């Protein structure tokens, strides 16, 4: 049972009552979230928002000629919704008919609730108090590590929220989900005599505040480890340098750590979103859905998107949902296997147009139109022979390589992409050195991004949390095993 | 509001009445709280958006009707608490006030706030007779239909044109800020459009005033198509590597200034976060940067900020010297120079944690050289129109490294070939820090032509960057 589910049902009933007999079909996603958030600035100022609630209803209307309109109605009550429906219907009428419009059937229409029956609200978790304690503990850690040679400053953002949603349609569908998520970003800036260093670490999951701190705000081991890493790396960056022109010209490999796998999110992930494919914006697929090339990666490559494997029955992964915003259970989708494109991520609408089944990737930011979105994306070895757990063997044969870690995000334009890295470490003659390189950028021609992948190292980690933009924001995570990539003309390293 | 009717004048009246009603309800709310709080600030942003995506199959419509974002800050015994919601409903606001009050009174720390920062009652700045922010969405629909029809037609007869995309969008925002001291309200509308061809060449259109003619928008597709070079080039093709002359398109120039320069001009004292003091030379003497929310015709211009305070013009850099640091307002209502906004440019959501000092519209003074003279002397260089991911830009050193989203080569003084997607990366630093690498703003030539990006007015900038 959702908080105020009765009120949400009344609004949805009013909506379907208003459109009954006037359209061929309609469905709705009505979402609400409640969040507590604290932000600490570099100058020590702290801002607390004890209660931030957001709500929004997005509706899809379609008629018998295939005119379809997705419209955000704000957070209306039963009376407001009727007025806004009139505006939406007036907007639907002048649209051109679309004979190709189709919605893929819901694989399962059973009405049920997903997620925990009772997710404690931020207030019930005493979130402002606990987060204040957590920020205090982080301040103490950073303060203790500060020295005249490296003056450290802390910036932090912490929130916990509960998100509830209803997906329903004019045929009686009523599926609900409650999910908690918590997030921490620690940024440490180091100031040396003439140089500056900076490092950002993130921790979070689809879980209550317990994933970040204890009842008194004491940091969990994950948070302590992240804060320690941010401190040590910020100090390390004081000594880092940029690549010389000669080094850039001589680089043979780049080694992408799991923490820098926003690279694969941008280079490949977006190009597998079926709405981008259908709009003709994918660099890897034609608008018909046919791949541009039979091979988009080396034989070592396997790319997967979906909920993480919950060994203990607890969902993991910052981008995890049980159902998407069209009510479809989120499936794990293999996008690339052994270098060949296998499948795309679909919403009901894109699946309907391409004659496929939806795999549960239609999401929207609260109250906005649904798009095809990623959840947790990982790049792993397609077969055991490409997995090399011995570091020495993994790096063998690399004359000059750059091991890159961390990322502050990236961007894709279809045929090309860029992903930031927080630092690099040189690999010389197969050995990881202590030569640290300042933050930079991997710029890649999309079609060639994964063709040079030679091997993977270490177990998959999906620790990199992000807020993916696409006109809207969605929580995602990326990762996998550390990948060794041979450089080509398709790859530019700017550090 | 409907797509086709009523007329623009009637729509202006409807929007004016709606804004007045919003302002009235917000102005009445603080009084209903009695003595439970010393004061309360209510901030509202109501957004409506009509958008049409250009796709090979036709238009993809997307509507957002009346989405409310409401931020409340309460003051009690010198402490400030904050909460937010998305429902225009006084009982919901009262719940928010209770939550904010609880957090404010239980938070440790000094009681330093004597008043919320909104205190000047202001007039409604919206005058329906003068309103030209209102557009009948039906007009936009017809125009978007013409653009996409035109593009589809061209796609069948233009060799090499394999994909096109883009959008036309009309956004209407109403801002209201109210306290016990008064209320101020304004309305802002704008049309923007973009056409992207083959995912490697783009052009944009925008206006915040109702144009006399929509012909420039209708011709956007053709203009983009005609201006598109047919060949592309990689650094190897051009033999460019290392430090090379680069012309920054005003859109790219603005992106760098917003990410790396304007935030650094903000500080809590006369010394900003980079350690520069007022009067220090930070750029070439040709560089003058002004933050001015009063610049007409820009989406980012506002008469009052999200705390209800009037905005002002802030010269940040004059002839290469730092002239002013953007100072936030003090907790006791001391005046500051910086305006505070909940929305920062490029984000769709307000900050949950309240308004923060942010640069609004930017202006860079023109140079003395015409664009064609600027590039005439260049044998081989780049015109960077947009960056692809400035996420790696380092705000504490102003160093950046970024892929090039779209751009063209300048060969023998002419725009020649497209920059091959994913093949180009440029890097450098904006400002010269003590002990750091030389910033490109110390070595620039600015064009005489000024370009309106929608949020800034700037010239083209010739400088040297690493490729």
Q: Is residue B174 part of a domain?
A: yes
Range of the domain at B396: 230-466
Task: Examine the fold and report which residue of A236, A255, A275 is the final residue of a domain before the chain moves on.
Answer: A236
Helix (H) or strand (E) holding B38: none
Instruction: Judge if A225 and A256 occupy the same domain.
Output: no
Nearest-by-Cβ selection for B163 from A87, A280, A419: A280
- Contact between chains at A38 and B353 (C-beta distance less than 8 A): yes
Using a CB–CB cutoff of 8 Å, tell me whether B275 touches chain A: no
Instruction: Judge if A53 and A136 occupy the same domain.
Output: yes
What tokens does B1 get?
A: 């509001």
Check residue B4 and give its pLDDT: 46
Using a CB–CB cutoff of 8 Å, tell me whether B406 touches chain A: yes
Q: Is residue B458 part of a domain?
A: yes
Instruction: Judge if A107 and A22 occupy the same domain.
Output: yes
Instruction: Judge if B17 and B90 occupy the same domain.
Output: yes
Task: Examine the fold and report which residue of A216, A236, A256 is the final residue of a domain before the chain moves on.
Answer: A236
Q: Is residue B1 part of a domain?
A: no
Nearest-by-Cβ selection for B199 from A35, A90, A414: A414
Instruction: Judge if B119 and B202 occupy the same domain.
Output: yes
Check residue B129 and give its pLDDT: 45
- Contact between chains at A70 and B63 (C-beta distance less than 8 A): yes
* Residue tagged 């850099």 (tokens): B317
Instruction: Judge if A206 and A352 occupy the same domain.
Output: no
Using a CB–CB cutoff of 8 Å, tell me whether B331 touches chain A: no
- Contact between chains at B107 and A445 (C-beta distance less than 8 A): no
Nearest-by-Cβ selection for B425 from A38, A193, A492: A492
DSSP secondary structure code for residue B394 in this structure:
B
Instruction: Judge if A213 and A346 occupy the same domain.
Output: no
Which residues does A376 contact at the CB level (< 8 Å), separation at least 6?
Answer: A305, A306, A307, A308, A317, A318, A319, A320, A462, A476, A477, A478, A479
Average pLDDT over residues B101-125: 57
Task: Examine the fold and report which residue of A202, A236, A270 is the final residue of a domain before the chain moves on.
Answer: A236
Pairing assessment for the beta strands A46-62 and A68-72 based on DSSP bridges: antiparallel
The rounded distance, in Å, linking the Cα atoms of A327 and A339 is 31
Instruction: Judge if B20 and B78 occupy the same domain.
Output: yes
Average pLDDT over residues B282-286: 91
The CA-atom distances, in angstroms, between B466 and each of A156, A245, A301, A424 are 33, 10, 32, 18
Check residue B268 and give its pLDDT: 52
Instruction: Judge if A84 and A199 occupy the same domain.
Output: yes
What tokens does B101 get?
A: 């009050």
Instruction: Judge if A227 and A299 occupy the same domain.
Output: no
Distance from CA of B421 to the nearest CA of A (A): 5
Q: State the best of A7, A164, A279 to mutate against chain B, taking most chain B CBs within 10 Å.
A: A279
**ipTM confidence:** 0.89
Instruction: Judge if A111 and A53 occupy the same domain.
Output: yes
Nearest-by-Cβ selection for A51 from B100, B200, B235: B100
Rounded to an integer, what is the distance from CA A46 to the centroid of its chain? 27
Instruction: Judge if A232 and A249 occupy the same domain.
Output: no
Confidence bin at B119 (pLDDT 50/70/90): very low
Instruction: Judge if B168 and B271 occupy the same domain.
Output: no
Instruction: Judge if B175 and B31 occupy the same domain.
Output: yes
pLDDT tens-place string over residues B406-446: 999 998 877 789 998 888 999 999 988 766 778 999 999 99
What tokens does A46 get?
A: 């702290």
Instruction: Judge if B41 and B120 occupy the same domain.
Output: yes
Average pLDDT, rounded, for chain B = 82
The CA-atom distances, in angstroms, between A351 and each of A333, A346, A360 are 14, 6, 10
The rounded distance, in Å, linking the Cα atoms of A221 and A278 is 44
Chain A residues in contact with B99 (beta carbon < 8 A): 50-51, 123
Instruction: Give the whole-number percent of chain B exceeding pLDDT 90.
Output: 28
pLDDT tens-place string over residues A398-444: 999 999 999 988 888 878 888 999 999 999 999 999 999 998 989 88
- Contact between chains at B55 and A444 (C-beta distance less than 8 A): no
Using a CB–CB cutoff of 8 Å, tell me whether B269 touches chain A: no
Query: CA angle at residue A451 from A449 to A457, to 5 degrees?
Result: 90
pLDDT tens-place string over residues A280-314: 889 899 989 999 999 999 999 999 999 876 565 56
Chain B residues in contact with A411 (beta carbon < 8 A): 388-389, 391, 403, 405
Confidence bin at B240 (pLDDT 50/70/90): confident
Check residue B350 and give its pLDDT: 45
- Contact between chains at B426 and A53 (C-beta distance less than 8 A): no
Instruction: Judge if B66 and B143 occupy the same domain.
Output: yes
Pairing assessment for the beta strands B414-419 and B399-411 based on DSSP bridges: antiparallel
Instruction: Judge if A251 and A210 occupy the same domain.
Output: no
DSSP assignment of A135-195? HHHHHHHHHHH-BTTBEEEEEEEEEEEEEEEEEEETTS-EEEEEEEEEEEEEEEEEE-SS-
Distance from CA of B370 to the nearest CA of A (A): 31
Distance from CA of A312 to the nearest CA of B (A): 33
Which residues does B62 contact at the CB level (< 8 Å), separation at least 6?
Answer: A70, A71, A369, B49, B51, B52, B53
Chain A residues in contact with B63 (beta carbon < 8 A): 69-72, 88, 91
Domains: count for chain B:
2
Instruction: Judge if B215 and B247 occupy the same domain.
Output: no
pLDDT tens-place string over residues B133-179: 567 778 888 888 888 888 888 888 888 788 888 999 988 888 999 98
Helix (H) or strand (E) holding A312: none
Question: Which residue on chain A is closest to B405 by alpha carbon?
Answer: A413
Task: Examine the fold and report which residue of B224, B254, B270 is the final residue of a domain before the chain moves on.
Answer: B224
Using a CB–CB cutoff of 8 Å, tell me whether B83 touches chain A: yes
Task: Examine the fold and report which residue of B209, B224, B239 is the final residue of a domain before the chain moves on.
Answer: B224
Using a CB–CB cutoff of 8 Å, tell me whether B122 touches chain A: no
CATH number assigned to the domain comprising residue B149:
3.30.2290.10
Instruction: Judge if A221 and A306 occupy the same domain.
Output: no
Least confident of A135-149, B245-259, B380-394: B380-394
Instruction: Judge if A344 and A416 occupy the same domain.
Output: yes
Better-scored residue on pLDDT, B256 or B115: B256
What tokens does A164 get?
A: 């509830």
Check residue B399 and give its pLDDT: 87
Check residue A482 and give its pLDDT: 96
Task: Examine the fold and report which residue of B169, B192, B224 is the final residue of a domain before the chain moves on.
Answer: B224
The rounded distance, in Å, linking the Cα atoms of B282 and B253 is 16
Better-scored residue on pLDDT, B264 or A391: A391
Cβ–Cβ under 8 Å, residues B333 and B114: yes
Q: State the best of A54, A88, A164, A443 to mutate against chain B, taking most chain B CBs within 10 Å.
A: A443
Confidence bin at B116 (pLDDT 50/70/90): very low
Instruction: Judge if B243 and B208 occupy the same domain.
Output: no
Check residue B125 and give its pLDDT: 47
Instruction: Judge if B461 and B339 occupy the same domain.
Output: yes
- Contact between chains at A438 and B399 (C-beta distance less than 8 A): yes
Average pLDDT over residues B301-309: 84
pLDDT tens-place string over residues B30-70: 999 988 888 899 999 999 999 999 988 888 899 998 899 99
Q: Is residue B3 part of a domain?
A: no
Instruction: Judge if B342 and B215 occupy the same domain.
Output: no
Distance from CA of A311 to the nearest CA of B (A): 34
Domains: count for chain A:
2
Chain A residues in contact with B396 (beta carbon < 8 A): 189, 196, 198
Q: Is residue B2 part of a domain?
A: no
Q: Which residues of chain A have pLDDT under 70?
A: 309-315
- Contact between chains at A48 and B82 (C-beta distance less than 8 A): yes
User: Is B270's pLDDT higher than 50?
Assistant: no
Check residue B346 and give its pLDDT: 47
Cβ–Cβ under 8 Å, residues A70 and A58: yes
- Contact between chains at A445 and B242 (C-beta distance less than 8 A): no
Check residue B123 and give its pLDDT: 45
Instruction: Judge if B123 and B185 occupy the same domain.
Output: yes
- Contact between chains at B67 and A287 (C-beta distance less than 8 A): no
Nearest-by-Cβ selection for B421 from A50, A198, A445: A445
pLDDT tens-place string over residues B339-366: 777 765 544 444 455 677 788 899 999 9
Which among A451, A163, A442 is positioned nearest to A318, based on CA atoms?
Answer: A163
Check residue A493 and give its pLDDT: 87
Check residue B32 and give its pLDDT: 93
Confidence bin at B265 (pLDDT 50/70/90): low
Check residue B371 and give its pLDDT: 92
Q: Is residue B339 part of a domain?
A: yes
Range of the domain at A141: 5-236
CATH number assigned to the domain comprising residue A204:
3.30.2290.10
């Amino acid at each position: 049972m959702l908080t105020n589910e009765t009120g949400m049902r009344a609004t949805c009933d009013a909506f379907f009552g208003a459109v009954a007999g006037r359209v061929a079909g309609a469905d709705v996603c009505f979402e609400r979230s409640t969040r507590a958030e604290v932000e600490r600035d570099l100058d020590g100022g702290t801002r607390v928002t004890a209660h931030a609630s957001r709500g929004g209803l997005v509706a899809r209307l379609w008629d018998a000629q295939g005119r379809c309109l997705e419209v955000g109605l704000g957070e209306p009550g039963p009376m407001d919704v009727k007025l806004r429906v009139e505006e939406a219907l007036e907007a639907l009428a002048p649209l051109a008919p679309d004979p190709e419009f189709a919605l893929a059937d819901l694989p399962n229409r059973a009405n049920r609730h997903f997620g925990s029956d009772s997710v404690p609200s931020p207030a019930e978790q005493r979130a402002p108090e606990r987060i204040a304690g957590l920020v205090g503990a982080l301040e103490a850690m950073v303060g203790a590590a500060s020295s005249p040679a490296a003056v450290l400053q802390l910036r932090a953002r912490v929130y916990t929220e509960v998100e509830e949603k209803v997906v329903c349609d004019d045929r009686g569908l009523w599926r609900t989900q409650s999910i908690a998520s918590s997030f921490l970003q620690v940024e440490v800036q180091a100031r040396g005599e003439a140089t500056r260093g900076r490092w950002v670490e993130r921790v979070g999951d689809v879980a209550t505040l317990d994933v970040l701190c204890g009842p008194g705000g004491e940091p969990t081991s994950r948070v302590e480890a992240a804060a320690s890493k941010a401190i040590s790396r910020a100090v390390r960056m004081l000594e880092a340098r940029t690549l010389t022109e000669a080094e850039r010209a001589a680089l043979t490999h780049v080694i992408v750590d799991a923490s820098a796998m926003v690279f694969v999110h941008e280079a490949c992930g977006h190009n597998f979103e079926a709405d981008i494919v259908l709009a003709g914006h994918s660099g890897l697929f034609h608008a018909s859905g046919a791949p541009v090339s039979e091979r988009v990666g080396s034989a070592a490559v396997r790319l997967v998107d979906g909920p993480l494997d919950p060994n203990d029955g607890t969902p993991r992964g910052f981008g995890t949902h049980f159902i998407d915003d069209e009510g479809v259970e989120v499936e794990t989708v293999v996008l690339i296997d052994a270098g060949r494109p296998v499948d795309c991520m679909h919403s009901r609408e894109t699946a309907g147009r391409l004659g496929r089944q939806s795999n549960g990737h239609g999401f929207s930011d609260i109250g906005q139109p649904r798009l095809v979105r990623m959840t947790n994306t990982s790049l792993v070895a397609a077969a055991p022979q490409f997995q090399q757990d011995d570091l020495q063997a993994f790096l063998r044969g690399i004359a000059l390589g750059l091991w890159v870690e961390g990322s502050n995000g990236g961007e894709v334009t279809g045929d090309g992409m860029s992903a930031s890295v927080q630092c690099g470490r040189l690999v010389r003659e197969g050995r990881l050195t202590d030569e640290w390189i300042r933050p930079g950028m991997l710029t890649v021609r999309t079609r060639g991004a994964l063709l040079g992948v030679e091997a993977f190292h270490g177990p998959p980690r999906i620790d990199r949390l992000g807020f993916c933009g696409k006109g809207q924001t969605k929580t995602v995570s990326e990762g996998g095993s550390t990948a060794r990539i041979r450089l080509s003309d398709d790859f530019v390293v700017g550090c | 509001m409907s797509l086709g009717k009523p007329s623009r004048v009637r729509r202006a009246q409807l929007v004016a009445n709606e804004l007045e009603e919003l302002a009235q309800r917000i102005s009445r709310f603080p009084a209903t709280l009695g003595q439970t709080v010393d004061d309360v600030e209510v901030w509202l942003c109501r957004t409506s958006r009509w958008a049409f995506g250009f796709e090979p199959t036709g238009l993809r419509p997307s509507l957002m009707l009346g989405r409310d974002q409401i931020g409340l800050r309460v003051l009690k015994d010198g402490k400030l608490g904050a909460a937010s919601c998305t429902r225009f409903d006084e009982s919901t606001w009262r719940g928010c006030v209770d939550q904010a009050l609880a957090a404010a009174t239980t938070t440790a720390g000094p009681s330093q706030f004597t008043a919320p920062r909104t205190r000047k009652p202001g007039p409604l700045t919206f005058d329906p007779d003068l309103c030209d922010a209102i557009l009948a969405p039906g007009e936009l629909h017809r125009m978007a239909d013409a653009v996409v029809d035109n593009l589809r037609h061209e796609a069948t007869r233009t060799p090499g044109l394999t994909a096109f995309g883009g959008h036309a969008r009309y956004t209407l925002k109403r801002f209201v800020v109210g306290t016990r001291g008064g209320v101020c309200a304004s309305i802002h509308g704008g049309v923007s459009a973009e056409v992207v061809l083959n995912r490697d060449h783009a052009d944009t259109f925008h206006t915040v005033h109702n144009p006399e003619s929509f012909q420039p928008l209708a011709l956007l597709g053709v203009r983009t198509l005609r201006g598109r070079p047919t060949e592309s080039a990689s650094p190897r093709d051009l033999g460019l590597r290392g430090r090379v002359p680069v012309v920054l398109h005003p859109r790219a120039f603005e992106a760098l200034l917003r990410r790396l320069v304007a935030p650094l001009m903000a500080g809590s004292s006369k010394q900003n976060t980079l350690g520069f003091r007022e009067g220090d030379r930070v750029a070439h003497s040709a560089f003058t940067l002004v933050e001015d929310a009063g610049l007409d015709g820009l989406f980012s211009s506002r008469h009052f900020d999200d705390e209800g305070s009037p905005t002002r013009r802030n010269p940040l850099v004059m002839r290469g010297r730092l002239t002013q640091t953007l100072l936030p307002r003090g907790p006791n209502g001391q005046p500051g120079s910086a305006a505070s906004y909940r929305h920062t440019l490029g984000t769709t959501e307000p900050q949950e944690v309240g308004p923060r000092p942010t640069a609004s519209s930017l202006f860079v003074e023109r140079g003395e050289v015409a664009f064609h003279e600027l590039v005439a002397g260049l044998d081989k260089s780049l015109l960077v129109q947009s960056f692809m991911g400035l996420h790696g830009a380092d705000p504490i050193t102003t160093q950046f490294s970024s892929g090039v989203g779209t751009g063209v080569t300048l060969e023998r003084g002419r725009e020649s070939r497209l920059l091959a997607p994913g093949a180009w990366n440029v890097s450098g630093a904006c400002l010269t820090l003590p002990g750091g690498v030389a910033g490109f703003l110390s070595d620039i030539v600015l064009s005489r032509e000024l370009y309106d990006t929608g949020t800034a007015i700037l010239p083209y900038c010739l400088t040297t960057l690493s490729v």
